Chain A
Amino acid sequence: MTTAVAESLSYWSMTGPRHSNDLDALLYRVARRDADAFALLYDHTRTRVYGLVTRVLRDSGYSEETTQEVYLEAWRTADAYDSAKGSALSWLMTMAHRRAVDRVRAEQAARQRESRYGASAVEPSRDVVAESALAADERRRVVECLDGLTDTQRQCIEMAYYGGLTYAEVSQRLSANLSTIKSRMRDALRGLRNCLGVT
C-alpha cells in the first residue's frame, strides 16, 4: 500500500492532478478519522508542506509549529475536501501557504520582512531532499519554467508568495502602480501554468 501510494504520487507529480486519486483516497480515509491514512498522508506530503512553510518563514522553530498546525487543520477539515474543486495536494498546499503567510505577517515587522526578502531573493533552493530520478526531473522542469519568466514577473511572485507581502505592499516596495503589479502577477502565473501544462 505504502509503495503503491508513493509510486502513484511520483507519477502524479510528473503528470498532473488527473492522477492524484490515491492522495484523494487517503484524504477520504482521513475524513473518516483513519489515523493510519493520516500517517501516510504525512509521509507522502511532508517535504512539500514543510519545504514551502520553511521557505516562507525562514525559521525552523516557526516552521515546525506551522507544519503541525497545517496537519492538524487537515485532520480537522478533511471532510470538507472536494476533489471537484482541485487536487488533494493543492488543497493541502493552499492550507500550508495560508498558515505560513498568516504566521509571517503576525511575527514580523515590515522592516524585518524586507531584509528577509533581501536574503531570500538571491538564494537558490538549498535544502535539497533525497529525491527519486522522477522527482529530480520534475524539479528541473519546474525550474526551467520559472526561468522562463521575466525578472520583474519572478520578483512579484517571490515577494508575494514567498515573502508574504500583499500585492499592495509589493507595489509600494517596487514603486509600481497596482495595476502593473496585478498584470505582472497574472502574466507570471499564466506563463507558469502554460509551461507546466496545468489544466
Chain B
Amino acid sequence: MTGPTDFELLELAAPYALHAVSDDERAAIDRQLAAAPPSVAEAFRDEVRAVRETMTAVSATTAAEPPTHLRATVLAAVRPDTASSRSRWRTAILAAAAAIVVGLAAFGAGIAMRPSPTPGMAQQIMAASDVRTVSGELGGGTATVVFSRGMNAGVLIMNNVPPPSQGTVYQMWLIGDKGPTSAGTMDTAAVAPSTTDMLTNLGHSSALAFTVEPGNGSPQPTGQILAKLSLT
C-alpha cells in the first residue's frame, strides 16, 4: 500500500486544524498519524496546536454578544439537580408520568414498557455524544429541546412561557410519519417561569409541536399549533 509521504501528511496539518477537511479525510489523517513515526506525529500536533492558538487570537475580531436569554438556557442545562430546580423536577416527572398514563389510554399497553424518566436520564441525555439542541418561541417565551436520538429521549426547557389559562393545558406532540402523538401535557400549575420536562420515546418523530387543549388534553391536537421545533 502506498500512503502519502510524511511531508504530505504534515502539509495537511493546517487544513486539519481549520476543520477544512471532509470527515473521510479526517479519519484517514487520524489513521496515518497513528501509524506515522513519533517525530512526524509530534510535528503534526505542534502545527495543529499553533494554528488553533493563532485562530483563537483571531477570534478577538469576531467577538459578538449573544442574546441574554441564552445564559439561562445554557446554565439550566447543567443544573438539573440543584435545590432550586428540585421541585420543578418533581413536577416534570409527574407530568411525564401523566403523559405515560395518557399514552397508555390512547395507544395500549405496549407503552407500559417505557422506562420511567428520572433526573439521571436528563444528565445522560446532556452527556450523550449525539446531543442536539433546538429552540423556538412559545407564547412570548422560549422553548428549548435538548435531545439525543441515541437515547431516544429529550429534555424540554421552557423559559418565560406564560402558563395556559385555567381549564386548559399545553399539550406536546411528537410529529411522525403517522401524524402527531401526544408527548404529555402541562397545566397552569405546572408551568413556572423556568420549567423542565422529559420527552421519552422520540421514535422517528421529526418535530415537537405545542397546542393548547381543553381539560386534561386531547387524543389528537384540536388547537392551533403554537410552536414547532424541528428534531431532524
Using a CB–CB cutoff of 8 Å, the interface residues on chain A facing chain B are: 13, 16-17, 35, 38-39, 42-43, 46-48, 50-52, 54-55, 60-61, 63-65, 67-69, 71-73, 75-76, 85-87, 89-90, 93-94, 97-98, 101, 125, 127-131, 135, 138-139, 142-143, 145-146, 157, 160-161, 164-168, 170, 179, 182, 185-186, 189, 192-193, 196, 198-199
B57 touches A196 (CB 8 A): yes
**Interfacial chain A residues near B64, Cβ < 8 Å:** 47, 50-51, 54-55, 127-129
**Interfacial chain B residues near A52, Cβ < 8 Å:** 59, 62
**Top 8 A-B residue pairs of the complex, sorted by shortest distance between their CB atoms:** A127-B64, A51-B64, A50-B66, A160-B20, A167-B15, A47-B63, A51-B63, A90-B56
A98 touches B19 (CB 8 A): yes
Which A residue sits closest to B134, measured CB to CB? A65
**Interfacial chain B residues near A39, Cβ < 8 Å:** 71, 75
A69 touches B61 (CB 8 A): no
**Interfacial chain B residues near A17, Cβ < 8 Å:** 53
How many A-B residue pairs lie within 8 Å, measured between CB atoms? 182
**Interfacial chain B residues near A13, Cβ < 8 Å:** 57, 60
B76-84, B160-168, B193-201: which one contacts chain A? B76-84
Question: B55 an interface residue at 8 Å Cβ cutoff?
Answer: yes
Q: Which of A69, A90, A130, A192 has the most CB of B within 10 A?
A: A90
Which A residue sits closest to B78, measured CB to CB? A75
A139 touches B53 (CB 8 A): no
Q: Which of B18, B45, B52 has the most CB of A within 10 A?
A: B18
* Chain B interface, >50% SS class: helix
Which A residue sits closest to B12, measured CB to CB? A182
Q: Which of B20, B52, B55 has the most CB of A within 10 A?
A: B20
Question: B49 an interface residue at 8 Å Cβ cutoff?
Answer: yes
B70 touches A67 (CB 8 A): yes
One of B58, B65, B127 near A146 (C-beta < 8 A): B58
* Chain A interface, >50% SS class: helix
Question: B25 an interface residue at 8 Å Cβ cutoff?
Answer: yes
B60 touches A142 (CB 8 A): yes
A76 touches B126 (CB 8 A): yes
**Interfacial chain B residues near A143, Cβ < 8 Å:** 61
**Interfacial chain A residues near B58, Cβ < 8 Å:** 142, 145-146, 192, 196
Using a CB–CB cutoff of 8 Å, the interface residues on chain B facing chain A are: 11-12, 14-15, 18-22, 25, 45, 49-67, 70-71, 73-75, 77-79, 82, 126-127, 131-136, 144, 146
- Complex Cα distance, B202 from A162, in Å, reads 34
- Complex Cα distance, B75 from A107, in Å, reads 26
Whether A38 touches B75, Cβ cut-off 8 Å, given contacts A65-B133, A87-B56, is: yes
Whether A167 touches B66, Cβ cut-off 8 Å, given contacts A35-B82, A182-B12, is: no
- Complex Cα distance, B61 from A129, in Å, reads 10
29 A-B pairs (CB sep. < 8 Å): A13-B57, A13-B60, A17-B53, A39-B71, A46-B65, A52-B62, A64-B66, A67-B66, A67-B74, A68-B77, A68-B146, A71-B74, A73-B131, A75-B126, A86-B49, A86-B52, A97-B55, A142-B61, A146-B61, A160-B18, A161-B20, A166-B15, A166-B20, A166-B22, A189-B14, A189-B50, A196-B57, A196-B58, A198-B53
One of B54, B71, B77 near A72 (C-beta < 8 A): B77
- Complex Cα distance, B11 from A89, in Å, reads 25
> How far is the CB of B119 from the nearest CB of chain A, in Å?
14
Excluding A186-B14, A196-B58, 8 further A-B contacts by CB distance (< 8 Å) are A47-B66, A52-B62, A63-B66, A139-B63, A165-B20, A167-B21, A196-B54, A198-B54
